[in-house]
Amino acid sequence: MTIPMHHADLERPDVPALLDRFGRPLRDLRISVTDRCNFRCRYCMPREVFGPSFQFLPREEILTFEEITRLTRVFAGLGVRKVRLTGGEPTLRADLPALVRMLAAIDDLEVTLTTNGSLLAHQAQALADAGLRRITVSLDSLDDAVFRSMNDMDFPVQLVLDGIAAAERAGLAPVKVNAVVRRGVNEHTLLDLARHFKGSGHVLRFIEYMDVGNTNGWRMDEVVPGREVVERISAAMPLVPLEANYRGEVAQRWAYADGSGEVGVITSVTEPFCGDCTRARLTAAGELVTCLFASHGLDLRGRLRDGSSDADLVHVIRGVWSQRDDRYSEIRSAATATLPRLEMSHLGG
Ligand code: SAM
Ligand code: SF4
Ligand code: SF4
C-alpha cells in the first residue's frame, strides 16, 4: 500500500500525532448517533433482515449526548479535527441540533453530517444555527421510481431535493451529494443526476457499491467502477482531473471542462485508499471501530459508565489506534467477502 511519508498538513503543535502501525494519524471520527433508519436501502438495511422483528438498540444502550461529547473531547485531544455525525439516519435522533451545539463548542473541531435528507427540510436551519459546518446528502437517483425502489420505503426524490434546498438556504452550501451506484439498478440514471447538479454549486460524488456488512448479498459484478462512471460522464460532459483538496480525501475529483463545477468518484473497491485512511468510528452503542469492514469494536461505553477517567480513556484509545493495521479494501478477495463483519447501519457509514 502507499504509505504517506508524513502528514504535515495534519500536525497540531499541541498534539503529538498518534500514529497506527502504518504511520496513519487519527484525524477523523465518524459518530453514529442511532442504528435506526426510516429508509431500507437494499445495499445497507435490506428489509428481510431489518424488518419489524429486528432488535434495534434499546435506548439505555445508546450513548447520551453528554457521553458522546466527553468522548469526542478525548478524541480531539488525540488529534481528531473533524467529526461526522451519521447512522443509521442521524436526523431521527431527537434534538440532534443540541448535540451539534455541544460538539461545535470543542476547540478546532469541524462538525459535519451525513443524512438521507428526508427530514432535512425541517432541520437544516436549526443544524446550521447550532454550528454544523458541512453536510452530505445521499441521493442515488433523480428518477422517482428508481429512487423509491432503492430506499424501499417509497420516499419520493422531491423530499430529498427539498432537503438539499433547505441546506443551501441555511448556508450549508456547497452540499456534497453521495450516490451509490449499482450495476443494473441505477446506473442508467447517472447522467441525469450529473446533469442536474452540474452548475448548481453542489458537489456530486458517485460511490462504488461496497461489501459492507453481511446482509446485502454484495457481488463484485454489481460494482460499477469509478473509472467507468467518469468515462460515461466525460463522454457527454467533458471532465478534467483535479488535485485532491487535502491528503486523505476519499473522493477523486474531476472538473467539468466548461468550468461549471466538479464531480467525484469514491473508488473504495477498484482503487482502494487505505494508505491515507485516518478515520475511526464510534458506534451508537459506544464501540470504537477502526475500519469499515471490522468484525467488532472496542467497548468504550462500559468504561464511560464505570467511572473511568479521561486519562484511562486516552490510554485505551491510544492502545487501539497504535496497534491498528486495517487495510481491508487492499486485501479484498472472494475469501474476505464472507468474513463476519459489522453492518454499515450499526457502525456508521
Ligand atoms: N442514513 C444516512 C445516509 O444514508 O446518508 C447516513 C448513514 S449511511 C450508512 C452513509 C452512507 O453510506 C450513505 O451515503 C450510503 O449511501 C452509504 N452506503 C450504505 N451502504 C453502502 C454500500 N453497501 N456501499 C456503498 N455505500 C453504502
Ligand atoms: Fe438508511 Fe442511510 Fe442505510 Fe439508506 S444508507 S438504509 S438511508 S442508513
Ligand atoms: Fe479505511 Fe478500512 Fe476503508 Fe481501508 S477498508 S479505507 S482501512 S475503512
Q: Give the helix ranges, DSSP H, for 105-209.
A: 120-129, 144-151, 157-169, 190-197
Q: Per residue in 301-348, pLDDT tens? A: 999 999 999 999 999 999 999 999 999 888 887 777 778 888 888 877
Q: What radius of gyration do the chain's Cα atoms show?
A: 19
Bridge partners of 342? Answer: none
Assess whether the C-beta atom of 347 lies below 6 angstroms from ligand 2: no
Looking at residue 29, the DSSP 8-state letter turns out to be: E
Q: Is the distance from CB of 69 to CB of 102 less than 8 angstroms?
A: yes
Query: How many angstroms separate the first and last alpha carbons of the chain?
Result: 23
Assess whether the C-beta atom of 300 lies below 6 angstroms from ligand 2: no
Nearest listed ligand to the Cα of residue 330: 3
Average pLDDT over residues 199-205: 97
Residue of the nearest CA to atom 1 in ligand 1? 89
Of 133, 116, 117, 129, the closest CA to residue 165 belongs to 117
- Calpha distance 177→174 (Å, rounded): 9
Confidence of residue 12 (pLDDT cuts 50, 70, 90): low
Assess whether the C-beta atom of 39 lies below 6 angstroms from ligand 2: yes
C-alpha cell of 298?
472496542
Average pLDDT over residues 141-162: 98
From the CA of 328, how far away is ligand 3's center (Å)?
A: 6
Residue of the nearest CA to atom 7 in ligand 3? 327
From the CA of 349, how far away is ligand 1's center (Å)?
A: 5
Helix, coil or strand: residue 333: coil
From the CA of 182, how far away is ligand 2's center (Å)?
A: 15
- Calpha distance 216→342 (Å, rounded): 12
Percent with pLDDT over 90 in the chain: 82
- Calpha distance 224→196 (Å, rounded): 20
Shortest-distance atom of ligand 3 to CA 273? 6
Taking residue 231's Cβ as centre, other Cβ atoms within 10 Å add up to 11
Assess whether the C-beta atom of 343 lies below 6 angstroms from ligand 1: no
Query: Which residues are CB-neighbours of 161 under 8 A, at least 6 positions away?
Result: 139
- Calpha distance 53→66 (Å, rounded): 30
Position 3 pLDDT exceeds 50 = no
Grid cell 475529483 in the structure block, residue: 253
- Calpha distance 321→26 (Å, rounded): 7
Degrees (nearest 5) of the Cα angle 22, 26, 32?
A: 125
Nearest listed ligand to the Cα of residue 84: 1
Q: Is the distance from CB of 230 to CB of 238 less than 8 angstroms?
A: no
- Calpha distance 73→106 (Å, rounded): 7
Confidence of residue 55 (pLDDT cuts 50, 70, 90): very high
Position 214 pLDDT exceeds 90 = no
List the domains of the chain with CATH numbers.
8-347 (3.20.20.70)
| Phi–psi pair at 259, nearest 5 degrees | 80, 15
Average pLDDT, the chain: 93
From the CA of 168, how far away is ligand 3's center (Å)?
A: 31
C-alpha cell of 139?
441521493
Taking residue 11's Cβ as centre, other Cβ atoms within 10 Å add up to 13
Confidence of residue 2 (pLDDT cuts 50, 70, 90): very low
Nearest listed ligand to the Cα of residue 47: 2
Reported pTM? 0.94
Bridge partners of 135? Answer: 113
Q: Is the distance from CB of 64 to CB of 57 less than 8 angstroms?
A: no
Confidence of residue 9 (pLDDT cuts 50, 70, 90): very low
